[in-house]
Structure 1
Amino acid sequence: MGKRYRSPSLTRFISQDGQLNIVRRGVSGFHRGDLYHLLLTLSWGWFLALFSVLYLVSNAVFALIYLAGGDCIQNARPGSFIDAFFFSVQTMATIGYGAMYPRTPYANAVVTVEALAGLFGVAMATGLAFARFSVPTARVIFSRVAAIAPYDGVPTLMFRTANQRRDVIVEAQIRVTLVRNEVNREGEFMRRFYDLKLVRSHTSMFALSWTVMHQIDETSPLYGATVDSLAESESEIVVMLTGLDEIVSQTIHARHSFATSDILWNMRFVDILSRMPDGRRSIDYTRFHDVMPIESVRGNK
């Protein structure tokens, strides 16, 4: 079995959770046209915190506007910011007034503006929350390692993926790309991308596990590669899976990467498929990432 190489300075192009590890310089970190995209991609914690802060700040601003109009709120203590703030909350949320209500034309004008602002605010928050809930996501798992071993007499790169949901991903397609450092004839350094031809890159129904295989023959970019050559070129295997979720009928995608240290030589994945007594097939996810030496596979035959 080939040795495993680990480079502490090498950062993946795509992290194992599917995020891009790219630092963009020379461009603005935020553009006003990206506000909607930003609000959709924020975590739920930051999203709720942002709207909570905006809600409190907007009510505080309207409270100050009410105070600027003098004693314009009936039954509110003169000059009381607390009373003006809670009056603003009742107005913006269209709760309906109890003891406090506007008493001057100035207050009624501010109430009109605030009611309109509250209407737009609720509409925006509701729309964004619905959009965040409706964005389709994939629960696809990839094996932590990839393996290189003979398959039908040909050295083959293999890794596993599986759908963790109980539904089916329809028309699933997978693309695998080799990313490595190269220097061309002019001495220029570049990060090159090579698409790897797969034994099977498409499945009409992705419900069980899928062992993705690339045969390393004379046409493969990995032909003649070794542990040391992959480490020297900082090679990385990038995986992109797309398909159609049968429940929401929308396209979903998942991505993953294998660094040089994640590629094991002369190893095979253990079998995780079995049949239940009632005839149904079962997947043992507890052994999803397990591999064994090919000598052990031969000895079990």
Structure 2
Amino acid sequence: MVGIAVMTGLAFARFSRPTARVLFSRVAVITPHNAMPTLIFRTANQRRNMILEAQMRVYLMRDDITLEGQFIRRLYDLKLLRNQTPSFTLSWSVMHIIDEFSPLYGMTAESLTQTNTMLIISLSGIDETVTQVVHARHSYAANEILWNNQFVDIFHHTPDGHRYIDYNRFHDVLP
């Protein structure tokens, strides 16, 4: 009887854990935003509730050669325009300005490929329904970062003035 109770408890604990169910765009883009080159990717909350106090962290990982000529796989933090939101409900366009302080400064599509560059994304927040922390991760390889493209607008208005998001175009980009 004790064994059955323990197994039931373990099964319940495993299946009652919330999952983030966050959608990430298939590609990231580098496009001008306020006259500055900007790395942008999209996320969307696929749950019917909110993720509270959501925090986004983005890392750039690439091969580097030190001044001594040694190979090293280096990890850089990317500073975001907004790395947290009080409630992640629908969609979030994550942006990193490429200025002289950015590890992407001076890079090209070719140099990203040559250095095996990868973006690593980590999202965490509190599921509003069960008040437990949820996590989501994603990564973009160098060939999934499109230069001089922009995302298609997914926000639309109904005739009566309400806004909605067209998720059918969530991954679409324009040159």
State the TM bucket, normalised to the shorter chain.
over 0.9
Structure 1 outlier segments of 4+, above 6 Å:
none
The AA in structure 1 aligned to 2:84 is H
Q: CA RMSD in A?
A: 1.1
1:233 to 115, 118, 128: 115
1:243 to 106, 109, 125: 125
> Partners in 1 of 2:147 and 2:123 — Cα distance?
24
Secondary structure of 1:121's aligned partner: helix
**Alignment length (residue pairs):** 175
Q: Which structure is higher in RCO with an 8 Å CA cutoff and minimum separation 6?
A: 2
> Partners in 2 of 1:278 and 1:165 — Cα distance?
25
Instruction: Verify: 1:189 aligned to 2:68, yes or no.
Output: no
Residue 38 of structure 1 is matched in structure 2 by none
Percent identity of paired positions between Structure 1 and Structure 2: 60
The AA in structure 2 aligned to 1:287 is R
The AA in structure 2 aligned to 1:254 is A
Secondary structure of 2:7's aligned partner: helix
Q: How does 1:129-168 map to 2 (within 5 A)?
A: 129-168=11-50
> Partners in 2 of 1:131 and 1:276 — Cα distance?
42
Higher strand share: 2
* TM-score, normalised via structure 1 length: 0.57
Secondary structure of 2:120's aligned partner: strand
> Partners in 1 of 2:50 and 2:56 — Cα distance?
15
The AA in structure 2 aligned to 1:214 is H
1:261 Cα deviation from its structure 2 partner: 0.7
Higher helix share: 1
Instruction: Verify: 1:275 aligned to 2:168, yes or no.
Output: no
> Partners in 2 of 1:253 and 1:267 — Cα distance?
29
> Partners in 1 of 2:17 and 2:163 — Cα distance?
31
Instruction: Verify: 1:200 aligned to 2:60, yes or no.
Output: no
> Partners in 2 of 1:283 and 1:141 — Cα distance?
14
2:59 to 177, 180, 186: 177
- The runs of 5 or more residues in structure 1 that have no matched partner are 1-118, 294-301
Instruction: Verify: 1:284 aligned to 2:166, yes or no.
Output: yes
1:278 Cα deviation from its structure 2 partner: 4.3
- The runs of 5 or more residues in structure 2 that have no matched partner are none
Residue 224 of structure 1 is matched in structure 2 by 106
> Partners in 2 of 1:125 and 1:279 — Cα distance?
52
> Partners in 1 of 2:161 and 2:6 — Cα distance?
51
